[in-house]
Amino acid sequence: MSDRIIIALAGNPNSGKSTFFNALTGARQHVANYPGVTVEKKEGFIEFNGQRLHIVDLPGTYSLTAYSQEELVARNFLVNERPHLVVDVLNAGALERNLYLAVQFLELGIPLILALNMMDEVRKQGRRIDTNRLSSLLGVPVVETVARTGEGKEAVLHATLEFSDSPKVPWKPLRISYGPDLDPVIQEMETEIASDHFLTDLFPARWTALKYLEEDPQVRELGKGHAIAEKLEEMAAQVSEHCQSTLRTTPDSIIADYRYGYISSVLRQDVIQRDESRLRRMDMSDRADKIVTHRLIGPMIMIGVLLGLYKATFVLGEAPMGWVENFFGWMGEMATVLLPEGLLRSLVISGIIDGVGGILSFVPLIAIIFILLAILEDSGYIARMAYMLDRVFRTFGLHGSSVMPFIVSGGIAGGCAVPGIMGARALRSPKEKLATILTAPFMPCGAKIPVFLMLAAAFFPEKGASVMFWITLGAWIAALLVAKLLRLTIIRGASTPFVMELPPYRLPTIKGVLIHAWERTWMYIRKAGTVILALAILIWAAMTFPLLPEEQTAVFETKQKQIEQHIAELESANFSVPETTNESHEKLRASLAHIEAEKSEAALRHALAGRLGSALEPLSALAGFDWRTNIALIGGFAAKEVIVSTLGTVYSLGEIDPEDTAPLSQRLHKDPAWSPVTALSMIVFVLLYAPCFVTIVVMARESSWGWALFAMGFNTMLAFGLATVVFQVGRLLN
C-alpha cells in the first residue's frame, strides 16, 4: 500500500486530457522528452488519501498502432513500464470515436478507468449518457468529468484507490469477434502463440495475433528471428490475400470495422439518449466556421490574427527583453568594476555574461509566443489555419500548420527562429515538421535586420523599406523552394495523411495556457542554457586566442601612454583656462580611442577567428568577401547581432551600437573594396547561411543533432553558392 501507484493518462487529442492532467496535478508536474524522440513526457506526483500517485500523461492518440511516434511512445510505455492502470480520458461528446482507443486498451487487457470528459457540453446538448450501463457493458469503472472545472477528478482518484486496494489480478483482455473471415485464423494464431510463449511476457496472445494481421511493424520487428514469427507472417499473408481477392478489402480494415461494430453494439443498448431537436440547433462551431473559414473572409481574418500575433509578441516582448538585456549590461558593468583588466574579465563579460544574457533575453519572447500559441491552439483556431492553408503549403511538401513557425521565425520581418522552431511542435506530421524546422531559419529574424539596414543605408540609401520587402519575399521563396527540394530528396516520402479533427471552438483556460507556456519556456532555459553557455565560451576563445604577442601590444601601449601623458600635461598646464584647450584635448582623446580600436582590430585579426577569416579569403573572394567580412560572418555563427559589432571592430571603429550603425555605413560606403554588388551578395549570404547557435541547439532538441548540423552546413553552402552567383553576375553587369 505504501508503494506509489503509477497511472497512465491516455486519450484522443482534443479530449481535454491535458486539462484533466493539469486539474489532477496542478503545477506539480515535470516535463521532459521520451528518450530518443521529441514527444513530450509529462509526469506529476500527487498524494490522495495517504496514497502516493505517479501520473504519466501519455501523448494524445486515436489508436494504438505503431505508425506515429506518439502512438509508439504510448504503447511502449504501457507494455514496458506496466503502469498499474490507465485512465482513458474521453470526449463524451464524440463517444463512439473516443471508445475506439478504449477498446484497444481493453483488448490489451490493461486495467482501465474511463473518464467521460466534457460532460458539461454533452448535458448542454440535451444528451444523456447512462454511465452505469456503459460501465457494466464494458466491465470497467466509468466516471463523468468536466476537466475545466475539476468536476469528477476526486471520483476518478477514488476509483483508482479502490482498484489498488483490490487484490492484484492478471490482465484480462477483452475478446471481440472479428467475423467469419478472421476469427478462425486469429484463433489458430492465438493457440500457436500461447503454446510457444511468443512475446507473452509483453502482450496477450490474441493481441499479438491481431498485430500480425494488421502488419504492425514494431511487433514484426520484435518477432524477427523466432521460428514462429515466420509462420505467423505467412498465415497473415494468406488471409490478407484471401480478403483481397474475395472481399476486396484488407484484414486491418476488417478489424477496424468490427471494432467500431463492437462499439456501436454497446452504445445501442440504451447508453446514449439524444434529443434530436437540440442536436440540430446546437452546432455553434460549424456555424462559426461558415465565417471563420469562408473563402474570402477566412483568409482576411487569418492575416489579421497572424499580424496580431506577431505584433503582440514583439511589442509585448520588447520591454521585458530590454529589462533582461539591461540587467546583463549592468552585470557586465559590475564585472568591469570588480575584476581587474585582463583575460578573466574578458571571459566573464564577453564570454559568460554576454553569452548567457543573449540566451536569457529571448525568454520573454518565448514565453509570450507560447502563451499566445497556447491560446490559439486551445481555442481550436490553429486547426482552422492548417485547414485553410494546407493547399498552399502542401505544394511545397509542407503542412498547413507550417505557417506559424514561418511567421514567428521572421516571415514578417523581425521575428525569431527560436520560438518559431519550438512552435513547430504543433505539427503532428514528422516529415513536414522536419522540413519546416530546417527552412524556418531562412526568415529575416530581428537579429539579421540591423545588418540589412546598415548595408541598405550604405549602398541603397532611401530604399530601406523596399530592400526589406524584397529580402522578406526572397526568404519566403527560399524557404518554400528548399522545403520542396528537401522533400524531393533527403526527406522524401508521401505526405502524412491530413485527416484531422476540427475541434469545436472552446475558451482556453488561463491555468492551462500558463502551465503550457511555462513548461516550454523552462525547458528552453534549462536545456539551451547549458549547451549555449559552453558554445559562447568557445566562440569567445576563438575571437581572443591566440593573444597578440607582447611586443605588438607594447607598441600600442607605448603610443597610448604617450598620448595619455600628453593629455595629463595639457590638463595640468591649462587647468585655469580649460576652454582654449578643448579642441586639442578632444583630438587627443579621439586618437587615444583610435589606437584602442586599432589594437582590438589587430588582436581580433591575430586570434583564431581572424586567422580563419584570412585563410578563407581566397575562397570567400568569389562572393566578394574579404577577411574582415569573413570574421564578422564567423561571429555571426554565434548570433547574428555579432555581425555588425564585429564589423565595427575589424574596421577599427570601436564599439558599434546595433541600433545606430551610421558610422559603419559611412565607412563601408567610402571603402573601395565595397560596392552595391558586394552589399547585395552579403545580404543574400546573411539571410540564408547557418542559423545562430541558439537556433541550432533548439533545432537539435526538436529534431536531432544530425539534422541541426546538416542545417548549419547545408544552409552555409547554399548561401555561399547564391552569394557567389549574385556577386559574379553583378560584377559582369557593372
Residue 659: CB minimum distance to other proteins, A: 41
Site for other proteins in 620-649 (CB under 8 A): none
Are 653 and 667 in contact, with CB atoms under 8 Å apart?
yes
- The CA distance from 183 to 290, in Å, is 46
- The CA distance from 316 to 530, in Å, is 27
Residue 251: CB minimum distance to other proteins, A: 11
From 141-149, 295-303, 305-313, 521-529, span contacting other proteins (CB under 8 A): 295-303
Three cell numbers, residue 143: 466516471
- The CA distance from 77 to 512, in Å, is 25
Contacting residue, 501, 598, 617, 671, with other proteins by CB under 8 A:
501
Residue 121: CB minimum distance to other proteins, A: 11
392 is a contact residue toward other proteins (CB under 8 A) = yes
DSSP character at residue 415: B
Q: Are strands 112-117 and 142-144 parallel, antiparallel or unpaired?
A: parallel
Identity of the residue, 146 or 517, whose beta carbon is nearer to other proteins in the bound complex: 146
Are 349 and 332 in contact, with CB atoms under 8 Å apart?
yes
Residue 281: CB minimum distance to other proteins, A: 10
Contacting residue, 30, 124, 226, 290, with other proteins by CB under 8 A:
290
Residue 285: CB minimum distance to other proteins, A: 7
97 is a contact residue toward other proteins (CB under 8 A) = yes
Nearest to 621 by CA among 678, 568, 695, 536: 678
Identity of the residue, 71 or 641, whose beta carbon is nearer to other proteins in the bound complex: 71
Contacting residue, 3, 183, 241, 286, with other proteins by CB under 8 A:
286
- The CA distance from 85 to 5, in Å, is 8
- The CA distance from 355 to 522, in Å, is 18
Contacting residue, 26, 299, 304, 578, with other proteins by CB under 8 A:
299
Residue 10: CB minimum distance to other proteins, A: 14
From 186-194, 228-236, 490-498, 546-554, span contacting other proteins (CB under 8 A): 490-498
- The CA distance from 640 to 446, in Å, is 9
Three cell numbers, residue 260: 467500431
Are 63 and 104 in contact, with CB atoms under 8 Å apart?
yes
H-run or E-run covering 176: none
- The CA distance from 234 to 212, in Å, is 10
Contacting residue, 197, 294, 311, 492, with other proteins by CB under 8 A:
294
Contacting residue, 1, 499, 577, 733, with other proteins by CB under 8 A:
499
Q: Are strands 272-273 and 128-129 parallel, antiparallel or unpaired?
A: antiparallel
Three cell numbers, residue 444: 529575416
Contacting residue, 41, 54, 345, 394, with other proteins by CB under 8 A:
394
From 88-96, 435-443, 543-551, 720-728, span contacting other proteins (CB under 8 A): 88-96
Three cell numbers, residue 275: 434529443
Residue 482: CB minimum distance to other proteins, A: 23
Nearest to 488 by CA among 429, 424, 435: 435
94 is a contact residue toward other proteins (CB under 8 A) = yes
Q: 3-state SS string over 458-475?
A: HHCCCCHHHHHHHHHHHH
Three cell numbers, residue 705: 543533432
- The CA distance from 647 to 668, in Å, is 10
Residue 403: CB minimum distance to other proteins, A: 13
Binding mask 25-64 for other proteins (x = CB under 8 A): -------------------------------------xx-
93 is a contact residue toward other proteins (CB under 8 A) = yes
Cell 522540413 sits at which residue?
A: 435
Residue 2: CB minimum distance to other proteins, A: 40
Residues in the chain, total:
734
Contacting residue, 33, 69, 293, 614, with other proteins by CB under 8 A:
293
Q: What does 333-384 look like in DSSP terms, one character per residue?
A: HHHHHHSPTTHHHHIIIIIIIHHHHHHHTTHHHHHHHHHHHHHHHHHTHHHH
Contacting residue, 159, 199, 210, 388, with other proteins by CB under 8 A:
388
278 is a contact residue toward other proteins (CB under 8 A) = no
From 370-378, 494-502, 545-553, 627-635, span contacting other proteins (CB under 8 A): 494-502
Nearest to 625 by CA among 551, 677, 702, 689: 677
96 is a contact residue toward other proteins (CB under 8 A) = yes
Binding mask 222-261 for other proteins (x = CB under 8 A): ----------------------------x-xx--xx--x-
295 is a contact residue toward other proteins (CB under 8 A) = yes
**CB-hemisphere CA count at 13 Å for 534?**
5
Residue 109: CB minimum distance to other proteins, A: 20
From 190-198, 294-302, 507-515, 551-559, span contacting other proteins (CB under 8 A): 294-302
Binding mask 348-387 for other proteins (x = CB under 8 A): ---------------------------------------x
Contacting residue, 390, 519, 601, 702, with other proteins by CB under 8 A:
390
Residue 605: CB minimum distance to other proteins, A: 55
Residue 33: CB minimum distance to other proteins, A: 24
From 154-162, 391-399, 476-484, 649-657, span contacting other proteins (CB under 8 A): 391-399
- The sign of the torsion formed by the CA atoms of 339, 345, 350, 356 equals negative
Q: What does 555-583 look like in DSSP terms, one character per residue?
A: HHHHHHHHHHHHHHHHHHHTTT-HHHHHH
Contacting residue, 168, 224, 268, 280, with other proteins by CB under 8 A:
280
Residue 107: CB minimum distance to other proteins, A: 14
Long-range pairs for 561-567: beta carbons < 8 A, 24 or more residues apart: 563/588, 563/591, 563/592, 563/595, 564/592, 567/592
Q: Contacts with other proteins: how many residues (CB under 8 A)?
A: 44
- The CA distance from 539 to 261, in Å, is 63
Helix (H, G, I), strand (E, B) or coil at 32: strand
Residue 216: CB minimum distance to other proteins, A: 10
Identity of the residue, 238 or 395, whose beta carbon is nearer to other proteins in the bound complex: 395
- The CA distance from 645 to 252, in Å, is 61
Binding mask 310-329 for other proteins (x = CB under 8 A): --------------------
Site for other proteins in 504-533 (CB under 8 A): 504
67 is a contact residue toward other proteins (CB under 8 A) = yes
Residue 9: CB minimum distance to other proteins, A: 20
Are 544 and 538 in contact, with CB atoms under 8 Å apart?
no
- The CA distance from 385 to 379, in Å, is 12
How far from 618 is each of 605, 612, 615, CA to CA, in Å? 16, 11, 7
Are 17 and 62 in contact, with CB atoms under 8 Å apart?
no
CB atoms under 10 Å from CB of 615, counted, come to 12
From 107-115, 285-293, 327-335, 710-718, span contacting other proteins (CB under 8 A): 285-293
Identity of the residue, 428 or 606, whose beta carbon is nearer to other proteins in the bound complex: 428
498 is a contact residue toward other proteins (CB under 8 A) = yes
Cell 496542478 sits at which residue?
A: 26
From 279-287, 407-415, 481-489, 693-701, span contacting other proteins (CB under 8 A): 279-287
Contacting residue, 13, 48, 79, 100, with other proteins by CB under 8 A:
100
Instruction: Give me the residues that bind other proteins (CB under 8 A), please.
Output: 62-63, 65, 67, 91, 93-97, 100, 250, 252-253, 256-257, 260, 280, 283, 285-286, 289-290, 293-296, 298-299, 387-388, 390-392, 394, 496-504
